[in-house]
Amino acid sequence: MEKVTFGEWLPDQPPVAGALVEAKNVIPQQIGYGPLPSISAISNDASENLNGVFSGRFGDTTKVFASSSTKLFEYSSSNLNLTNISQAGDYSAGESGRWSTAQFGKVVLAANGEEIVQAYTIGTSSNFADLASAAPTAHFVSVVRDFVVCGRTNEEPNKVLWSDINDETDWSSGPTSQSDFQIIPDGGNIVGITGGEFGLIFLQRGISRMTYAGAPLYFQFDTISRGLGCLEPKSIAQYGNLSFFLSDDGFYFCDGTKVQPIGAEKIDRFFFNDAELALLNNMSVAVDPVRRCIFWLYTNNSSIQSILIYNWQIQRWSRGETTADFIASVETEGITLESLDNYSASLDDLGISLDDRFWVADNTLLAGVEDRKIVAFSGATTGAEIITGDLVGQNSVITLAKPQVDSGTANVSIASRTRLDSEVSFGAVASADSENRCSVRSHGRYHRVKVSPSGNYTAAVGVDLDIKARGMR
Q: Beta partners for 22?
A: 387
- For residues 157-185, average pLDDT: 94
* Residue 251 amino acid letter: F
pLDDT class of 434 with cuts at 50, 70, 90: confident
Q: Could you state, in order of their start, the residue ranges of all structural domains in the chain?
A: 2-36+383-469, 40-376
Cα separation, 432 vs 438, in Å, equals: 5
The whole-number pLDDT of residue 356 equals 58
CB 457 within 8 A of CB 382: no
Across the beta sheet with 40-41, the strand order is: 40-41, 373-376, 364-370, 326-331
163-167, 447-451, 466-470: which range is least confident on average?
A: 466-470
Does residue 109 surpass a pLDDT of 60? yes
Alpha helices of 101-146 — where are they, by DSSP H?
none
pLDDT surpassing 90 at residue 77: no
Question: Taking residues 163-181, what's their average pLDDT?
Answer: 93
**Mean pLDDT of the residues in the chain:** 92
CA distance 267 to 282: 20
Whether the pLDDT of residue 346 is over 60: the answer is: no
Q: Give me the phi and psi of 443, to 5 degrees please.
A: -130, 150
- Residues 270-304: pLDDT tens digits? 999 999 999 999 999 999 999 999 999 999 999 99
* CATH number, domain 40-376: 2.130.10.10
pLDDT in tens, 93-105: 766 789 999 999 9
* Model confidence at 358: pLDDT above 80: no
pLDDT at 352: 59
Per-residue pLDDT at 348: 53
C-alpha to C-alpha distance for 7 and 307, rounded to whole angstroms: 19
Under the banding of pLDDT at 50, 70 and 90, the label for residue 25 is very high
Provide the pLDDT for residue 394. Answer: 85
Which residues in 366-392 are b (16+ Cβ under 10 Å) and which e?
bbbbbebbbbbbbbbbbebbbbbbbbb
Residue 180: left if φ>0, alpha if ψ -120 to 50, beta else—which one?
Answer: beta
CATH code of the region 2-36+383-469: 2.60.120
Among the residue ranges 192-196, 222-226, 262-266, 390-394, the one predicted with the least confidence is 390-394
**pLDDT band with cut points at 50, 70 and 90 for residue 364:** confident
E strand residue ranges, 112-194: 118-121, 129-130, 140-144, 147-151, 159-162, 180-183, 190-194
pLDDT for 337 equals: 47
pLDDT digits (tens, 9 = 90+) for 209-266: 999 998 888 999 999 999 999 999 999 999 999 999 999 999 999 999 999 999 999 9
Residue 118: what pLDDT? Answer: 98
